[in-house]
Amino acid sequence: MSAVAPGSKGKVLLAYSGGLDTSCILVWLIEQGYEVLAYMANVGQEEDFEAAREKALKVGATKVFIEDLRRELVEELVIPTIQANAVYETVYLLGTSVARPVIARSQVAIAQREGCTHVSHGCTGKGNDQVRFELAYYALDPKLQVIAPWRIPEFYKRFPGRNALLEYAAEKSIPVSQTPSKPWSTDENLFHISYEAGILEDPNVTPPKDMWKLTVDPEEAPNTPERITITFKAGKPVRVTNEADGTDVTDPLDLFLYLNTVARRNGVGRIDIVENRFIGIKSRGCYETPGGTVLRAAHIDLEGLVLDREIRAYRDEHITPVFGKIMYNGLYFSPEGDLITKMVPLTQTNVNGSVRVKLYKGSISMEGRWSETETLYDMEQSSMDVQGDFEPTDSDGFIKIQSIRLKKWGATLQK
């Protein structure tokens, strides 16, 4: 036993998962002289929270906090991310990234309320999450101190691998799940699930079929397409209907959970990529983002109908990529994060209307879209069969003006 008196070094709130790593960290922190409180965030992952609570108390936590953050995750992070059409490196829908701000914010609030001197997490020293959590901690409460065990030599040299953690768990009577460890790691919330490490570290290894947890294999999805209608107001999804199963849902959280359900059963939302982590390391990741993939595709489609060309171009160049980078790099709580999140709604005022979506064996197709309030699209003006109020001869002057510089450039090529 350590000679250090429990609690002599202060009180720490540990972001706790109930798994092997954070359970060992919890006991190790107590050995180092800290009073440890455990914190769990319900962001939609499949988890036995009460079993985790009992485990944390059993191994020495003085209190356990379980916070349901699903609604604020959807309303404050997921929907604005969809409004911005945000992605990282053109393909990653930021599923892990968007959950971190609400998790960190809640952890800091509890730490302040409970008089904690420290917060702690179980993130590795090579990943993005350590950056995301800690930058949020420091922005929200600069006085809080952070304990990151996987960056402390005393800790990571003592526990160089899973076997060392298992031996420590046995020594300290830490309950360990008897289910075999899968050869990859996962992170799950209601927006997505990620898979990385283990066998996936070889970018040329095809993920085994049984890895994918959320979505039906597209090849085994139903042979009949499924059709839904998504309605947006100011860029926010406000209604989803499905005449086939009688669904008509309007609550933001229920709406998103339903989109997950319908996308999962049709095999929608899988990607397998190699990305650049913020700290400079390339990483291979596989992701399932079922509802988010459908929602983003429908939102982009509706914008084609109702969004002004120059607003869309400005947003796509100056807001979408910046928003994605800010979220990925853990800078949501920053001056630039505050600015960009305030800019997104300004681009969405006219994104009002509905989109008819077909889901079929992993694919998404738009079968129609309309708006009862926006009038940028004029059928007569666009028609090749009806002249409407557009005078074709007006194009003559437009082309002449546009060609002035091109004629000059062409002339230089003739010299």
Strands 226-233 and 236-242: antiparallel
Calpha distance 109→39 (Å, rounded): 11
Distance CA 349, CA 235 (A): 7
Which residue in the list 17, 53, 106, 129 is annotated as catalytic?
Answer: 129
The CA distance from 378 to 356, in Å, is 19
Is-catalytic flag, 185?
yes
Q: Which two tokens stand for residue 344?
A: 């997104």
* Distance (Å, whole) CA 19 – CA 306: 47
How far from 339 is each of 97, 147, 322, 326, 370, CA to CA, in Å? 18, 30, 11, 11, 31
Which residue, 186, 116, 121, 196, is CA-closest to 152? 121
> Cβ neighbours of residue 171 under 8 Å, at least 6 residues apart?
none
The candidate with the shortest Cα–Cα distance to 366, out of 352, 354, 374, 351, is 354
Distances in whole angstroms, Cα of residue 334 to Cα of each of 91, 112, 126, 262: 24, 20, 22, 36
Distances (CA, A) of 364 to 90, 249, 293: 18, 20, 9
Q: Which of 21, 23, 194, 296 is catalytic?
A: 21
CA–CA gap between residue 117 and residue 146 (Å, rounded): 9
Inter-residue contact 100 to 329 (CB < 8 Å): no
Is 254 designated active site? no
- Catalytic residue, from 71, 141, 158, 185: name it: 185
From 53, 70, 100, 132, the catalytic residue: 100
Scanning the structure block, which residue is given the tokens 């074709």? 392
Task: Give the count of alpha carbons within 13 A of 351, CB side only.
Answer: 29
- Say whether 245 is catalytic: no
Integer Cα distance of 380 and 294 in angstroms: 31
- 100 flagged as catalytic: yes
- Catalytically active residues are 21, 100, 129, 185
